[in-house]
A and B are shown apart, each in its own frame.
Chain A
Amino acid sequence: MKPRILGNTIQRILRQLRHDRRTVGLLLVVPVLLLTLLYYMFPDPKLPLVPPVFDRVGLVMLGIFPFVIMFLITSIAMLRERTTGTLERLLTTPLGKLDLLFGYGIAFGVAAAVQAAIASAVAYWLFDLDTAGAKGLVILIAIANAVLGVALGLFCSAFARTEFQAVQFMPVVVVPQILLCGLFVAREEMAGWLQAISNVLPMTYAVEALQEVGKNADPTGLMWRDLGIVAGCVVVALVLAAATLRRRTA
């Protein structure tokens, strides 16, 4: 990895994003709209003594939205690199595979940071989201989850030949993680085999980390462990993605 090439690649990806205003708009506005729907879906949050459902579900959604959106964007972006031939050209230049992969991870991570900051700001100030722990930690976990989405997207794009196929990886990769992460049914109440699946899905740990921030004023050891697991999954996914980038092809 060469810092100069990595830096230029990050800039290039962000520039591409900047030229695509509609995508930027969707990136920033969609999570806010979804949070709004979520907020008004539940019974009047201002009823006394009932802990607002939004505090539980809204918090988890702050982690799920960036994951889903970044997974989709990245798998399409990387697929485009493959189908337009820019990837083949890049691999004939001094650019290293990791320059490209980390370039995407960092560039989209930056985009995710902006997205998470806006969504969190709306959740906290407009919808009175209440967490015992720090708002900054919520944003940090949301970014980590977004980067996880990027890394899995980079990996999964290798198995799609067309954008039609790439989009269909979303239900395969993303939906099971949302179903089993403990949002709909607490993980302890799931059947053993479901828990076992849930245990190997990285989103489970991101959601648990968010719940820890929701419950505890100070960052807990469990939260840091979970965040570490998410980071570890990012590294594993990036290494696997690097293995799918071949300089020589048939």
Chain B
Amino acid sequence: METAIEVKDLVVHRGKKPVLHGLSCQIPRGSVTGLLGPSGSGKTTLMRAIVGVQIVKSGTVTVLGKPAGDKELRRRIGYLTQAPSVYADLTVRENARYFASLYDGVPKSQADEIVADVGLADQANQLVGTLSGGQLSRASLACAMVSKPDVLVLDEPTVGQDPVLRDELWKRFRDLANAGSTLLVSSHVMDEANRCDRLLLIREGRLIADATPAAVKAEAGHDDLDEAFLTLIRAREKAVV
């Protein structure tokens, strides 16, 4: 399978502290890859490096054959930050349309469709500042997806969402991947991991697993992903000691 994102020996320091220690991984095109790991493990830093907004110490990140952050990539990549980044004093529709207008050939109608896709059709004319937390993060998600980018990097897109909506959002992610987009989605929720084509588990800035959910379970000998990860982490720690 063709590689969309390739990370090689990536080292990132934030302040004086190393956050990623020579991390390498490959993400195939047209797939949904789950990025899992505890808070502070380096998930967001890895995503920022892929999007090209992170200053890196060494190593390379290649996205669609170009170095991450390349000017060319800016129209092909969508990024959802962990904290909702939308304009509170605009309506949901105005936000989506503004972000759509930054790309060539994205019609207003596409912005309106995406707003409906994330379940905000009824709130389209509401000011973002008056939305609930879950609605707010969906408004932000709509703005990240609005150009239907080739690469979509989503930092915890489903936190605080109702289970039915979460299910619908995952169906949308799957549709996008089927249409050829590459998605990297970080999450805390293990039942979401089962919906990914591949999983990357990172802990303390190091890659612990990079495989399909089935392979992770098989390697650890557990059917439950939570248990499987625990086993892998313990095995890794023993190996290091």
Contacts and interface: CB of A to CB of B under 8 A. Distances in A.
Nearest to B72: A94
Contacts of A19: 89-91, 127
Taking residues whose C-beta sits less than 8 angstroms from the other chain, chain B's interface range is 20 to 34
Given A8-B102, A92-B74, A86 B86 contact: yes
Contacts of A12: 87, 90, 94, 98
B15 interface: yes
Contact of A89 (B69, B104, B143): B143
B83 interface: yes
Contact of B81 (A85, A247, A250): A85
A113 B103 CA distance: 30
Interface in A107-141: none
A165 B75 CA distance: 35
A167 interface: no
Contacts of B89: 16, 19-20
- Measured as residues with beta carbon below 8 angstroms from the partner, the interface class of chain A is 20 to 34
Contact of A85 (B85, B94, B103): B85
A94 B52 CA distance: 13
A168 B75 CA distance: 38
Given A12-B90, A19-B127, A89-B143, A247 B75 contact: no
Interface in B59-111: 69, 74-75, 77, 79, 81, 83-91, 94, 98-99, 101-104
15 contacts: A8-B98, A12-B98, A86-B87, A89-B85, A89-B143, A90-B102, A91-B53, A92-B53, A92-B77, A93-B102, A94-B74, A94-B75, A248-B69, A250-B15, A250-B54
Interface of A: 4-5, 8-9, 12, 15-16, 19-20, 84-86, 88-95, 247-250
Interface of B: 13-15, 51-55, 69, 74-75, 77, 79, 81, 83-91, 94, 98-99, 101-104, 127, 143-144
Q: Which 9 A-B pairs have the closest CB atoms?
A: A85-B85, A8-B101, A12-B98, A93-B102, A16-B89, A89-B85, A85-B81, A94-B75, A86-B85
